Amino acid sequence: MSAQVLQVAEVEALSPLVTRFRFVHPEGEALPLFSGGAHVVVEMPDGAVLRRNAYSLISDPLDGSGYEIAVRRDEAGRGGSRFMHAEVAVGDLLRVGAPVNLFALDLRARRHVLIAGGIGITPFLAQIRQLIRLQLPFELHYAVRSRAEAAAARLLPDLAQVHLHISEEGSRMDLGEILSGQPLGTHVYVCGPEGLVDGVLDTARCLGWPKGALHSEAFLAPPPGEAFEVTLARSGRKIAVGPHQSLLEALEAAEVEVPWLCRGGACGQCETHVTSCSGHIEHHDHWLSDEARASQSAIMPCVSRFRGADLTIDR
Amino acid sequence: MTMRFNDETFRGDYTFRNSPEAVRRFPFPFDQDSYMYSVNIEPHRKTRAGSVFEHRFDVDEHYVAEMRDRAITLERDPLRCQSLPHMELAGWDFLELVMTSKAEDYPELFTLNRDGDRWHWINRPLGIEQRFTFLDATTLPCGPMEYITRQTQGDHALLDQRDGNLWMDAGMVTAQADWSLDFDIGMNFFEWHAPVPKANEMGVFQRALKFLLNLQQGAPVRRLNWTMTVNPRLDTSPETYPEWGPEKRTVTPETVGAKQHLRVELQTLWRLPRSNAIAFPIRCYLCALDDIVTVPKWGRRLHRVLRDLPDELAEYKGFAVNRGVIVDYLARFDDGAETSPGIFPD
Ligand code: FES
């Protein structure tokens, strides 16, 4: 994957848990532009482990002077977000991949309805700048529990079609109301906790929205779990996967090449054939079909794990 | 280096000619003495000074004449250029890519001055000077894709990416090897590939699609494809088949060397920044057999490839009727000597 070394130019706490980072080219060169909803993969040399985490770009897609991301500190996670919060300071150099978009706006839409929960606001911060620039009609709903948690509130433009819903203050988001009465040709985009994503998709389906008009960002951070071992069918090697390491990271550490794009179980690039399995694959992806999952014939190494006696994969 | 542009035609009297230098840089597509359909994709990076792979968008001696031929085709059939409304942003992305590449790669031919969104473009070979506002289509004489592809050799498709698939939602297609934009517009990757024989196991296409969906900004790729065309004709579209189809019957042992052309497509694929679409330029190069055989390695190799090609492929590539005549002609230039690896002349 093509990555370039960028310099951290700003670090700013947006809320007790969320921090904004701005990256610029060390020699001030312009960075490639991107489309709203794109993410970059940031490489973090965390001790002996090289972590690569994907973060949505939140800055203006048409501004090549820098890339900005917002990282939520996840205490239970594998350490990527903790590394960003604890170790990264202004002036540091980090490798950042080229922007990739797996959650693009459908520009055929007559109107765009964006629904975010919590940190799920990040892809929309770039998308609304793109929508404003293209003069396309949209509305944004940003749901948070408390005002203190509304990390992105001050990054949002002051526009009538931008709505902040704070459940603690009694202004809960009403999906039925948002999704009914939208004109034909409207597309809806949702990003946030699984409950919100399911809620939006279910409500939209009940209201008769066509499937092609529904878009959700199904990104996950790779969950930690118990250590396990895999056997590589092509070489016979055995690879150990640590509790805070993903199978993909373990393969990379062992210099086994696996294609990837999202590192979050959504894009399908890392799909790996399982040649034998006695035990249980913990599938965490949004990619494999139910049949592939049940038959344990494939695994997505970026997010999924294993528990049992033997897992042999075609790598 | 100053470039000379040929005054030539790709229809009617067919005065198209390759200079000896153009023959030497022809992208001969066979790197060995036999041919198998494959996806054969490689990074599109600067390769070999003087070759067609040297620059991002190759400009050669046929540039001005090809653009004139495109204008004639468009005049007769405006549907050769179509862009669904949501593709305008991709059109701007592509215009930017071509203008910045050409101005950098051929400073003596093209100049681009940018002051924020106010752009000033000079195309010397075509005598064009245009001031316009980037992202404001009302400041150009036509849409951005049409504007730039009227000034860029090769056909062009712009592919929208959504629902895990690619959709041919815009294009400028006046030099196609027997396919139709008007037919394919709005189709997805699997639909527009439907007629390829032999590679019909879905697996090949699924892998190719997966590869393309993964295409990254700043990392364009390329591949060569080939077919055979009688007479140096760019517009071999299904729509005009009655005009060029019968010309296949004019090939005789006496005329084959001059009339029969190897037609090579240099296909490149580019991820576009603002729209996340993929640009797919398909650049066509023509070379008469008489010219091919001036490179002894190519004469030998082309003979072996065409002689041993499976019948279905000759049929699919549309030259089965003339295959005997072509192979007999080429046999005279094949002394059985070994050929060196790779596509370039010795
Ligand atoms: S890298 Fe995208 S699914 Fe694994």
Pair A27, A77 in one domain:
yes
Residues sharing a CB contact under 8 Å with residue B267, sequence separation 6 or more, in sequence order: B222, B223, B224, B225, B280, B281, B282, B283
Mean pLDDT of A212-227: 84
Mean of pLDDT values over A42-61? 90
Give which of B177, B66, B71 is closest to B125, Cα–Cα: B66
Query: A106 lies in a domain?
Result: no
- Given a contact cutoff of 8 angstroms between Cβ atoms, the answer to whether B62 and B19 are in contact is no
pLDDT in tens, A220-262: 678 888 999 999 999 999 999 999 889 999 999 999 999 888 8
- Identify all chain A residues contacting B275, using CB atoms and an 8 Å cutoff: 35, 107
Contact A261, B214 (CB under 8 A): yes
Mutual orientation of helices B296-308 and B323-331 as an angle, nearest 10°?
Answer: 140
Q: Do A269 and B219 touch (CB under 8 A)?
A: no
**Looking at the structure, do residues A128 and A91 belong to the same domain, yes or no?**
no
- Determine the pLDDT at residue B197: 46
Q: Given the structure tokens 């072509």, which residue do they identify?
A: B326
Catalytic residue chosen out of the listed positions B17, B24, B114, B223: B223
| CATH code, domain carrying A49 | 2.40.30.10
Interface contact flag, B217 A34, Cβ < 8 Å: yes
* Nearest atom of ligand 1 to the alpha carbon of A267: 2
B210:A104 CB<8 A = no
Q: Mean of the pLDDT values across residues A79-97?
A: 92
Q: Could B274 and A101 be called an inter-chain contact, meaning their C-beta atoms sit closer than 8 Å?
A: no
A51, A77, A100 - which closes a domain: A100
For residue A89, the model assigns a pLDDT of 96
Strand extents, DSSP E, B231-318: 260-271, 278-288
Q: How far is the CA of A267 from the centre of ligand 1 (A)?
A: 5
Tens-binned pLDDT, residue by residue, of chain B (346 aa): 578 999 999 999 999 999 999 999 999 999 999 887 666 788 899 988 899 999 999 999 999 999 999 999 999 999 999 999 999 999 999 999 999 999 999 999 999 999 999 999 999 999 999 999 999 999 999 999 999 999 999 999 999 999 888 999 999 999 876 667 777 777 887 777 665 545 556 667 777 888 888 898 999 999 898 999 999 999 988 888 888 888 888 999 999 999 999 999 999 999 999 999 999 999 999 999 999 999 999 999 999 999 999 998 898 888 999 999 999 999 999 999 999 988 999 8
Q: Which of A2, A31, A34, A35 should we substitute to test contact with B (largest number of B Cβ atoms within 10 Å)? A: A35
Cross-chain Cβ contact B217/A62 below 8 Å: no
Contacts of B246 (CB under 8 A, 6+ apart): none
Pair of tokens at residue A125: 């911060």
From B85, B160, B216, residue closest to A100, measured CB to CB: B216
- Are residues A96 and A115 both part of a single domain? no
Look at ligand 1, atom 3, and give the residue with the nearest C-alpha: A265
Is the Cβ pair B273, A33 closer than 8 Å? yes
Residue span of the structural domain in which A16 resides: 3-100
- Taking an 8 Å cut-off on Cβ atoms, the answer to whether A34 and B214 are in contact is no
Nearest CA in chain A to B136: A134
- Provide the pLDDT for residue A76: 74
**Spatial distance between the Cα atoms of B27 and B225, rounded to a whole number of angstroms:** 10
- What single DSSP character describes residue A98? P
Distance CA A112, CA B9 (A): 49
Nearby residues of B25 by Cβ (< 8 Å), 6 or more positions away? B50, B51, B52, B60
How far, in whole angstroms, is CA B158 from its chain's centroid?
Answer: 14
Chain A nearest-CA distance from B291, in A, is 41
Instruction: Please check whether residues A134 and A204 belong to one and the same domain.
Output: yes
Residues A92 and A120 placed together within one structural domain of the fold = no
Q: Residue A268 — very low, low, confident or very high, per pLDDT cuts 50/70/90?
A: confident
Per-residue pLDDT, A266: 83
What secondary structure letter does DSSP report for B346? -
Chain A interface disruption, residue of B217, B221, B272, B275, most A CBs within 10 A: B217
* CA pair distance A53, A57, nearest whole angstrom: 12
Nearest-by-CA chain A residue for B84: A108
Question: Which residues of chain B does A134 touch, with a Cβ-Cβ cutoff of 8 Å?
Answer: 89
**d(C-alpha A7, C-alpha B147), whole Å:** 38
Residue B164: phi, psi to the nearest 5? 65, 25
Of A52, A220, A300, the residue with max ligand 1 atoms within 8 A of its CB, to mutate for a pocket test, comes to A300
Question: Do residues A12 and A85 both lie within one domain?
Answer: yes
Choose from B87, B136, B215, B276 for mutation: most chain A CBs within 10 A: B276
Residues A246 and A305 occupy one common structural domain: yes
- Neighboring chain B residues of A3 at a CB cutoff of 8 Å: none
In a domain, A105, yes or no: no
Q: In whole angstroms, what is the distance from residue B160 CA to residue B158 CA?
A: 7
- Of the candidates B322, B39, B45, B3, which has an alpha carbon nearest to the alpha carbon of residue B198? B39
What does the alpha-carbon distance between residue A105 and residue A107 come to, in Å, rounded to a whole number? 6
Whole-number pLDDT of residue A250: 93
Is residue A57 domain-resident? yes
Examine the domain organization and report whether A117 and A210 are in the same domain.
yes
Q: What are phi and psi of A289, to 5 degrees?
A: -75, 160
A152 and A195 in a single domain? The answer is: yes
Q: CA–CA separation, A226 vs A282, rounded Å?
A: 11
CB A269 within 8 A of CB A212: no
Rounded CA-CA distance A34/A60 in Å is 9
Q: A261: distance to nearest CA of chain B, Å?
A: 7
8 A C-beta contact, residue A181 and residue A34: no
Residues of chain B positioned with their CB less than 8 A from the CB of A135: none
Between strands A298-299 and B42-43, the pairing is unpaired
Judge: A269–B160 Cβ closer than 8 Å, yes or no: no
To test the contact with chain A by mutation, choose from B88, B274, B278 the residue with the greatest count of A C-beta atoms within 10 A, namely B274
- Residues of B in Cβ contact (< 8 Å) with A257: none
Query: What is the H or E stretch that residue A216 is in?
Result: strand A214-216
Q: What integer best gives the mean pLDDT of chain A?
A: 92
Let me know if B223 is a catalytic residue.
yes
pLDDT at position B195 is: 58
Cross-chain CB nearest to B162 (options A33, A38, A106): A106
Name residue B201's amino acid.
E
Measured in angstroms, the CA of A145 and the nearest CA of chain B are apart by: 32
Which of A190, A221, A194 minimizes the C-alpha distance to A124? A190
Cβ within 8 Å, pair B275-A100: no
Nearest atom in ligand 1 to the alpha carbon of residue A259 is 1
Ligand 1: atom nearest CA of A300 is 4
Contacts of B163 in chain A (CB under 8 A): 212
Whether residue A222 is contained in a domain is answered as: no
Nearest chain B residue to A36 by CA: give it: B274
The closest of A14, A15, A62, A61 to A40, measured between CA atoms, is A61
Average of per-residue pLDDT across A25-50: 92
One domain for residues A238 and A184: no
Specify the pLDDT at position B193: 67
- Pick left, alpha or beta for residue B49 (phi over 0 → left; psi -120 to 50 → alpha; otherwise beta): beta
**From the list A62, A104, A259, which residue is nearest B161 (CB)?**
A104
Q: Tokens standing for A286?
A: 């949004």
Show the ligand 1 pocket: residues with CB < 6 angstroms: A 260-263, 265-270, 285, 287, 300, 302
The answer to whether position A126 is within a domain reads yes
* β-bridge partners, A113: A139, A188
| Ligand 1 atom index nearest CA of A302 | 4
Both A78 and A154 in one domain: the answer is no
- Structurally, chain A folds into a number of domains equal to 3
List the CATH number of the domain containing A138: 3.40.50.80
Which of B86, B135, B210 is closest, CB to CB, to A107?
B86
Q: Do A107 and B160 make contact, defined as CB atoms within 8 angstroms?
A: yes
Predicted complex ipTM: 0.84
Q: How far is B192 from chain A (nearest CA, A)?
A: 20
Pairing of strands A228-232, A305-313: parallel
Q: What is the pLDDT of residue B206?
A: 76
Picking from B87, B217, B276, the nearest residue to A104 by CB comes out as B276
The CATH number that applies at residue A239 is 3.10.20.30
Which of B87, B214, B274 faces A261 most closely, judged by CB atoms?
A: B214
Cβ contact B148:B170 at 8 Å: no
Q: Are residues A237 and A195 in the same domain?
A: no
Among chain A residues, the shortest Cα distance to B96 is held by A33
